[in-house]
């Protein structure tokens, strides 16, 4: 969040929730008590950390040794190289650690906070639900339009239009509408959505005593926003696939008799 990670004995990184609760800032000196022994630590960083309820002070093991204490280490974090297979490494390490009553626990999320991962999953679920609702709306409109034009399609089929051409015609008919609607909705909705997100993220973090890091709050780039502006055409095509397939499968004689 601010400052840096500790690099020497006597330096500490404090979790954001603890820093907010007691008013700790980078550069402050704090006194911690361990086994009835006091140690003075220099705070060099504030960290976004939700472990242990978000109230933690992290420091080098040498800090304990300097205070005459024996650090009890119960976990080692290992970051694998890009060319190392996680499952293979875990299996090999487990064989060596089992006799020591130790175990290996994979962390596919890396350094991501479980809280942030849950929030991201919730947002992704809501986004998919909104896309599905929009596609269903397009589906309803296209079904009605296709039924009205089924006689014309029968004429086209009688003149030699293939099923693939029928599907292309239906999709093309909604592509322009979807593009225009998507651009208009995007130009209106994306800025509003961005503003609402920024307005709600801070109170959400404050409600749990956390300040969200920039990696969570500053996520919008031009490369991400431009596809969102054109998302309407994709939703339109998704909603039109079913009626397009139905029109392609309909028999020419049946279509010609339809008024």
Query: Which residues touch 70 (CB under 8 Å, ≥6 apart)?
Result: 64
Residues 59 and 29 in one domain: yes
CATH number at residue 70: 2.40.40.20
Mean pLDDT of 145-169: 76
Single out the residue of 144, 146, 145, 156 nearest to residue 252, CA to CA: 156
Residues 170 and 218 in one domain: yes
The answer to whether residue 110 scores a pLDDT higher than 70 is no
pLDDT of the residue at 42:
92
Residues 97 and 192 in one domain: no
The answer to whether residue 257 scores a pLDDT higher than 70 is no
Residues 129 and 235 in one domain: yes
Residues 106 and 120 in one domain: no
Residues 132 and 249 in one domain: yes
Distances (CA, A) of 136 to 126, 141, 171, 241, 243: 15, 9, 15, 11, 11
Per the structure, the complete domain to which residue 149 belongs is given by 114-257
Mean pLDDT of 194-204: 79
pLDDT tens digits, 239-253: 777 777 777 777 766
Residues 103 and 130 in one domain: no
Residues 136 and 226 in one domain: yes
pLDDT of the residue at 229:
66
- SS3 string, the chain, reads CEECCCCCCCEEEEEHHHHHHHCCCCCCEEEEEECCEEEEEEEEEEECCCHHHHCCEEECHHHHHHCCCCCCCCCCCCCCCCCCCHHHHHHHHHHHHHHHCCCCCCCCCCCCCHHHHHHHHHHHHHHHHHHHHHHHHHHHHHHHHHHHCHHHHHHHHHCCCCHHHHHHHHHHHHHHHHHHHHHHHHHHHHHHHHHHHHHHHHHHHHHCCCCCCHHHHCCCCHHHHHHHHCHHHHHHHHHHHHHHHHHHHCCHHHHHHCC
CB count within 10 Å of CB 150 equals 18
> Of 24, 46, 74, which residue sits at a domain end?
74
Residues 221 and 137 in one domain: yes
Residues 137 and 211 in one domain: yes
Q: Of the ranges 78-92, 116-130, 146-160, 161-175, which one carries the lowest mean pLDDT score?
A: 146-160
Please report which confidence band the pLDDT of residue 105 belongs to, taking 50, 70 and 90 as the band edges.
confident
Q: What length does the chain have?
A: 259
Residues 124 and 57 in one domain: no
Summary mean pLDDT of the chain: 79
Find out whether 153 and 162 touch, Cβ atoms under 8 Å: no
> Of 94, 111, 128, which residue sits at a domain end?
111
**How many structural domains compose the chain?**
3
Bridge partners of residue 58, in order along the sequence: 13
The answer to whether residue 210 scores a pLDDT higher than 80 is no
pLDDT tens digits, 65-96: 887 887 777 888 888 888 888 888 888 888 88
Long-range contacts of 154-162 (CB under 8 A, 24+ apart): 154/250, 154/252, 154/253, 154/254, 154/255, 154/256, 154/257, 154/258, 155/256, 157/252, 157/255, 158/252, 158/256
Residues 35 and 160 in one domain: no
């Amino acid at each position: 969040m601010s400052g840096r990670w500790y690099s020497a004995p006597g330096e500490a990184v404090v979790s954001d929730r603890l820093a907010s609760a007691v008013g700790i800032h980078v550069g402050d000196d704090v006194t911690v008590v361990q086994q009835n022994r006091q140690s003075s630590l220099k705070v060099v960083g504030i960290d976004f950390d939700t472990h242990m309820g978000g109230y933690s002070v992290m420091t080098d093991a040498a800090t304990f040794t300097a205070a005459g204490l024996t650090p009890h280490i119960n976990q080692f974090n290992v970051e694998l190289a890009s060319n190392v297979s996680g499952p293979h490494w875990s299996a090999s390490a487990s064989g060596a650690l089992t006799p020591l009553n130790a175990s290996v626990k994979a962390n596919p999320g890396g350094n991501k906070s479980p809280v942030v991962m849950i929030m991201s999953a919730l947002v992704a679920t809501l986004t998919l639900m909104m896309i599905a609702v929009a596609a269903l709306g397009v589906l309803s409109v296209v079904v009605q339009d296709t039924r009205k034009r089924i006689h014309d399609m029968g004429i086209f089929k009688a003149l030699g239009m293939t099923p693939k051409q029928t599907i292309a015609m239906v999709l093309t008919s909604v592509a322009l509408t979807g593009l225009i609607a998507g651009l208009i909705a995007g130009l209106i909705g994306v800025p509003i959505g961005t503003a609402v997100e920024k307005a709600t993220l801070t109170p959400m973090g404050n409600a749990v005593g956390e300040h969200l890091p920039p990696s969570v709050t500053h996520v919008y780039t031009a490369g991400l926003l431009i596809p969102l502006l054109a998302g309407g055409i994709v939703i339109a095509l998704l909603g039109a696939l079913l009626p397009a397939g139905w029109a392609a499968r309909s028999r020419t004689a049946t279509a010609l008799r339809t008024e």
